[in-house]
Amino acid sequence: MIASVHFPVLQIVLPLLLAPVCVLLRGARLAWFTALTASWAAFGIAVALLLDVLAGGPISYAVGGWNAPWGIELRVDAANAFVLTIVAGIGAVVMIFARESVEHEIGNARAYLFYATYLLCLAGLLGVTITGDAFNLFVFLEISSLSSYVLISLGKDRRALYAAYQYLILGTIGATFYLIGVGLLYQVTGTLNMLDLAQRLEGQEGLRGVRVAFAFLTVGISLKLALFPLHFWLPNAYAYAPSAVTGFMAATATKVSIYVLLRVFFTIFGVEFSFGQMPLGEILMFLAVAAMFAASTVAIFQNNIKRMLAYSSVAQIGYIVLGIGMASVTGVQAGVLHLFNHALIKGGLFLAMGCIVYRIGSTHIDDLAGLGKRMPWTAAAFVAGGLGLIGIPLTAGFISKWYLVLAALEKGWWWIAVLILLSSLLAVVYVWKVVEQMYLKPAGEGAGRTEAPLGLLVPTWILIIASIWFGIDTRLSAGAALEAAKTLLGAG
């Protein structure tokens, strides 16, 4: 097949080109259908790439026929093929959800602009993941970031505007830090290709420029992925963005940034330098544990459930970073696995919140009273997702925490394992708070049964069922995560 040779570039080009088509078509239905086609095609390509890579090793694609290191190389290996599949998969499922949700929250008159921006954001995220060029990564990062600022500002509440502005300021600072880091590396090595960078950096570790670049890259990307204490932009952005956007962003944007962090630490600088010569492991572990406890505690006191889930995201990012900080194959595997599982769980939970917004029109905890009777399917989806968040056995959340505990014990850090379990108890508290309100409090007067339409319920349940599926059958997720970890750590 000729087309399959070009899959790596089609992965980005398809959503990128169909975005302006959405604007030209104008009609809400047509634009939605175009975006739906684009996102599902992207998902299909991502799956094909993942299967190819798992069977035959890394794929390299020279854009425009210009060979690396001069041209831009798209490079797919086990690590980013896995992330591509997650991002494209969530993007495709949320697109089903978007039609009715966007009609309700944004209105059909402006819907085509939403779909165009959504596709741009998707193209940017996929581009960040697939590219093998450090500067190209910056460009895609900014494409996805700029479109996500727009998507957030579309929220109904006027606070969405200020949240988008704050995210714009902090996001740009993060991206500029990344740019400074790449510039310094270029100054030392004269190349921008990631693999070439890795080779030429060998033996240069003592240079101040390399160390400064490392610091700038770490801080810049940490801002983007909302690592505690650089997470201030996240809670408001997630709380006030339209439901479909929150579901999409929570499951993809921070995850892609975590992938970038993995690339920089393991592929460009190498585990020797990042964790041996720099005290990165200690710093990451400290911040991760702080995130797990501080953000979970703050989540308990939130009355806006979307903001509560956003703080919970900051805590869950802590678990992922904790795994990365261990810098062992099992640790990184646990991190990548939780990246996947958390994307499903949090995506499902935020879509369930979208169903609630559609019918109840509020995300305040007091308005959820008696929801178990009023919207039984939505409430059940929320409970199933909440259990995954806590890490109850037979959910995906359990699997990733299991691997995380294994990785900690493998290093002999039993106290880390204890901290993981203790912080999970905090998740029990904030999930229970919502469950109690939904099932044990009576609904207000005159509140009948108002289940969300199928167009919203089906995508929500796809993600929730997937999160349970991958809690039982872990062959695909844990296997792919292991391959990813091996590739990143160069353990073949």
Partner 1 sequence: MMEAFGLYNYWIVIFLMMSGFYVVIARGNLVKKLVGLNIFQASVFVLYISMGKVAGGTAPIIAEGIETYSNPLPHVLILTAIVVGVATTALGLSLVVRINEEYGTVEEEELADKDPAE
Residue 139 in contact with partner 1, rule: CB under 8 A: yes
Residue 224 in contact with partner 1, rule: CB under 8 A: no
Residue 183 in contact with partner 1, rule: CB under 8 A: yes
Instruction: From 99-107, 164-172, 244-252, 378-386, give the range in contact with partner 1 by CB under 8 A.
Output: 164-172
Residue 131 in contact with partner 1, rule: CB under 8 A: no
Residue 110 in contact with partner 1, rule: CB under 8 A: no
d(CA 19, CA 443): 43
Q: Which of 24, 199, 364, 454 binds partner 1 (CB under 8 A)?
A: 364
Q: Which of 38, 46, 150, 244 binds partner 1 (CB under 8 A)?
A: 150
Bridge-based pairing state of the strands 73-76 and 59-62: antiparallel
Instruction: From 27-35, 179-187, 375-383, 384-392, give the range in contact with partner 1 by CB under 8 A.
Output: 179-187
Region class of 442: left (phi > 0), else alpha (psi between -120 and 50), else beta: beta
Q: Which of 169, 421, 425, 454 binds partner 1 (CB under 8 A)?
A: 169
Residue 164 in contact with partner 1, rule: CB under 8 A: yes
Cis peptide before 69 (omega within 30 of 0): yes
CB neighbour burial string for 63-91, b if at least 16 within 10 angstroms, e if fewer: beeeebbeebbbbbbbbbbbbbbbbbbbb
189: nearest Cα among 176, 206, 202, 180: 202
Residue 476 in contact with partner 1, rule: CB under 8 A: no
Contact 79, 128 (CB under 8 A): no
* Minimum CB–partner distance for residue 149 and partner 1 (Å): 6
Tokens representing 192 are 């921008």
335: nearest Cα among 261, 395, 274: 261
CA distance between the termini of the chain: 29
| Beta bridge mates, 61 | 74
The residue written with tokens 């600088």 in the block is 269
Instruction: From 99-107, 143-151, 337-345, 445-453, give the range in contact with partner 1 by CB under 8 A.
Output: 143-151
Residue 179 in contact with partner 1, rule: CB under 8 A: yes
Residue 180 in contact with partner 1, rule: CB under 8 A: yes
Instruction: From 1-9, 113-121, 139-147, 195-203, give the range in contact with partner 1 by CB under 8 A.
Output: 139-147
Residues for the chain: how many in total? 492
Count of residues that bind partner 1 according to CB under 8 A: 29
* Minimum CB–partner distance for residue 459 and partner 1 (Å): 27
Region class of 378: left (phi > 0), else alpha (psi between -120 and 50), else beta: alpha
**Between 369 and 484, CB nearer to partner 1:** 369
Residue 173 in contact with partner 1, rule: CB under 8 A: yes
d(CA 25, CA 5): 30
* Minimum CB–partner distance for residue 49 and partner 1 (Å): 26
Residue 186 in contact with partner 1, rule: CB under 8 A: yes
**Between 150 and 285, CB nearer to partner 1:** 150
d(CA 79, CA 129): 9
Binding interface with partner 1 (CB under 8 A): 135, 138-139, 142, 146, 149-150, 153, 158-159, 161-162, 164-165, 168-169, 172-173, 176, 179-180, 183, 186-187, 302-304, 307, 364
